[in-house]
Every structure is written in structure tokens, then in C-alpha cells.
Amino acid sequence: MSYSARMQKNHLYSVYLAPRGNPRMADVGMQIAQHYMSPFDLLIGIIGVAGSGKSVLIRGMFPGLDLTNDDEGVNIRPLPLMQLHDQGFFSAHTYHVDVRFEQAFTQLHEIAEAILDAINMGKRVIVEHFDLIYPLLGRNANLLIGVGEELIITRPSLFGPDPKDVASIVEKSVIFRRMAHTAEDLVEYCMKDVGISAYEHSDVRHGFLLLFNEKPNINLKELEHAVLEMIAQNLPVSYVDKTHILIGDQRHYCTGPRMHVKSTGEIINFKLHNEFLRENYTNRYIMVGLVGTSASYDISDMNQILV
């Protein structure tokens, strides 16, 4: 057995903060494919709610793969997996199926049969909403990925984890990612009024980071107050296209337009940390935005290991 295969066999799970912008999510998908996936993995299970970035993650893992039901509503009919299952011949090596979408057209047991037939012929199948089909397959995924506030990457064994347990974790946590992303866009929107637009994005649990090469001339208390006013107005937040949302009736640039709460009023306990932090290695200045945290939060505990 090769060194790479041994490493994959011993992998239990890894956790990443799930990025909100589509380019960053695709980049994480590429990293997962490089570091966690084996050439012998034929069944890849993806779990997460609609709009959580599953499709973008899959595109990062498998560039060029045709997704049969992508986030823009482009649906491939008939479903290649089912069509070739009926013909008894699988021409491609990798197939994609969105179980939640396909169960509106095909019985779950038929989808399960097609997945198992493809695997038995040495083909790879990427299954979105894997938790829905798992009870009918009689086997777990080789690689199972949950997409919520965090990306949970696990290699199930006889001892678990069960897909429904991963689903329970990510479905509960994704609301914090939606709140954080919406709050991040509100901060960006308010900063435009003072002419600040040069910064990078990063992530923290229950929040977001904006990174500046030079310390910006921003009063954080005033900026926080402006965002809280927009939250109090309970403005609708809606998808426009791949790179824009509407905040109320105002168009705003966003690279992850489906990862938002439906209105600003759904953001709970928004706050900006009361000072810019200085990054040790790069000397960049960091603005920290938080949602859903208590008044007694400690910055040093934001990314603590949860047990």
C-alpha cells in the first residue's frame, strides 16, 4: 500500500471554516481533492442545505464535471446516471446526482440502484444530499463532506460517522454563516460612504474578517451603529445574479449571493470588535465582525476546538 493510500485510510475527520465567497469555496474544494481524496474513492457524499455552496465546492473538487442540477437552476435531462443505468452502460468515469432534486422525478430506490451499479462498474458518483439516499445504499460514502458554517471532511468506517449526524451538525450551524455573510455585506455597504474598498476577506467562527494593508481611518463604533440601523430596518436581502444581491432596493456586489438570510432583521447580536487587531506575520490590520455571540466573548476563543 502506498504512503498516500495509508494516509487516507487513517484519516478520521478535518474541519475548515466554510468560506462565503464562491471563488474561495472553489479553492477549498481543490484543496480537499488534493489532500483528502483517493483515486479509489468511488462514492463521494455531500451534505448541506440549499445555497450552502455544495455545487461550488464540487466544481472545485472536480473541474469540468457537469452538475445535473446546479445553483443557477440549469438541469440536465435526462439524468445521465439514470439514463446510462437503464442502458446498462456507463461511458463517463464520474457522475453527479442531486438526490433532493431527483427524488421529485425518480423513486429513491431506483436512484440507489443506479448509484450502486455505477460504483460496481468502477465509476465515481458524487451525491448531493447523501443523507437522503444513505439508508437505501447499504454502504457509507468513501469520503463524506458536510457544508455548514464549517466544512466537515470525514472518511467513514464501520464506526461512523452516520450521515444523518453530519447533516444535523451542518444544518444547525449554517444559519451563523448566513448571518455573518449578510452582516459582512452590510459593513461593506456602509464603508463605501467613506471611500474604503481595498481589503481582503477571511473567516472566523460566527463572524467574518476584513484585512487591510494599512490601518483604515474608520470609527468602528460609528460603523457598527450604521450597520445596526440597517438591521433594525429589517431590509429584504435577495439574489440578483452570480455576483450581486439586493439589500432593500440597493444593488450590492457579492461573490456568494445565495448565502444570506432573507432580511437584515434576522441577524442576531451583531457587533464589531472594538479595535483593529494587528496580524503578527503580515502586519495587516484586521476588522472583526461577529454575530450570534454573547457579550462576554473572548477573541482568543473564537476558533477554539469544540469537544
pLDDT tens figures, 280-290: 889 999 999 99
pLDDT score recorded for residue 104: 86
The mean pLDDT of 29-36, rounded to a whole number, is 94
Identify the structural domains of the chain with CATH numbers, from first to last.
3-161 (3.40.50), 175-301 (3.30.980.10)
Q: Cβ contacts of residue 159 below 8 Å, gap of 6+?
A: none
Checking phi first, is residue 200 left (phi over 0); if not, alpha (psi -120 to 50) or beta?
A: beta
Tell me the pTM.
Answer: 0.87
Instruction: Characterize the bridge pairing of strands 43-47 and 285-290.
Output: unpaired
Which residue's entry shows cell 490590520?
A: 285
Alpha-carbon separation of residue 139 from 32, 125, 274 (angstroms): 22, 13, 50
Distance of alpha carbon 77 from the chain centroid = 26
How many other CB atoms are found less than 10 A from the CB of residue 93?
Answer: 10
Length of the chain: 307
Q: How confident is the model at residue 64 (pLDDT cuts 50, 70, 90)?
A: confident
pLDDT score recorded for residue 86: 60
pLDDT tens figures, 172-194: 999 999 999 999 999 999 998 77
The mean pLDDT of 195-205, rounded to a whole number, is 87
pLDDT tens figures, 112-150: 999 999 999 899 999 999 999 999 999 999 999 999 999
| Coil, helix or strand at residue 245 | strand
Which residues are registered as beta bridge partners of 35? none
pLDDT tens figures, 201-226: 999 999 999 999 999 999 999 999 99
Spatial distance between the Cα atoms of 274 and 129, rounded to a whole number of angstroms? 40
